[in-house]
Amino acid sequence: MSHQSLVEHFEISLQTPIGEVSTAVGVPTSFVPVTAILPLTRSLGEEVQTLELGHVRETGQTVSCHKGCAACCRMLVPISAPEAFALAQSIDRLAPPERERLLSKLDVAQQQLARAGILQQLSALAESPDPVSDEAIEPLNRAYYALRMPCPFLDNEVCSIYDDRPAACRELAVTSPAADCQDITNQTIRPVPVAVRMSTALSLLWADLTATTARLIPLPLAVDWAKRHQTEQAGRWAGTELFEKAIDKIGRYLAQERARRRSGG
């Protein structure tokens, strides 16, 4: 059997609120871990967001974000189970000194969250057997941001895991002045619209594959969470099944967002 026969090729066309995204992908027909879907979701997410960024620039607005501008790296970043597994694997592959440095920074962050009295709530969020509403998370978001705690992966205001950064980080951009981001509760902040939140789509995918709850895991707790859930991480699924389920979740999110924007919501 040739190597070519192990990959099935698909043409994807997705309708976003701004326009169409089309791309060709090769999907493994063998059984693969859930993390195998991340390159596809990252690529699609970037293409969708490129359309959004192009649209805001066409309307005369300027995207303020640039390297070294890291006020948003003090926010609570929620990630999906597949992203948590991939992040833990990325750290495991690092040279021992760098791996220990990052794990130490994660430990320090958790200690700070414990002192602030929100570590237990964040842990409960990561392990919740029931879906958690945005309304329930909002007080935690504000308490976390009030700490102004830099992301454990931030070094000198630059992301040290840039290529592996979570979807939520990739999707965040603003057209308001960068100075306004020093306070994310500032009503003048104008975020660039996000057509599909890939972390949510991936969390729905994981829930579907494992018959569990769609959950989002706070970034500082994600590596520990992945270690505790290694048994689930060992699961394997047919590449085509992963692909089809992921595209279904992304397509549904895009359809909801198109409807929301049409209704002015």
Q: What is the pLDDT of residues 70-125, one digit of tens each?
A: 888 999 999 999 999 999 999 999 999 999 999 999 999 999 999 999 999 999 98
Strand ranges (DSSP E) for 138-201? 154-155, 158-159
* pTM exceeds 0.85 for this model: yes
Q: Return d(Cα 103, Cα 213) in angstroms, integer.
A: 27
Res 5: pLDDT: 52
Q: Return d(Cα 173, Cα 194) in angstroms, integer.
A: 9
Contacts of 231 (CB under 8 A, 6+ apart): none
Largest CA distance in the chain: 60
Q: Return d(Cα 135, Cα 23) in angstroms, integer.
A: 36
Structural Rg of the chain based on CA atoms: 19
Strand partners, 15: 20
Res 256: pLDDT: 95
CA atoms within 13 A on the CB side of 57: 9
Q: What is the mean pLDDT of the chain?
A: 91
Q: Return d(Cα 10, Cα 24) in angstroms, integer.
A: 6
pLDDT tens sequence across 23-78 = 888 898 899 999 999 999 999 999 999 999 999 999 999 998 888 788 889 999 99
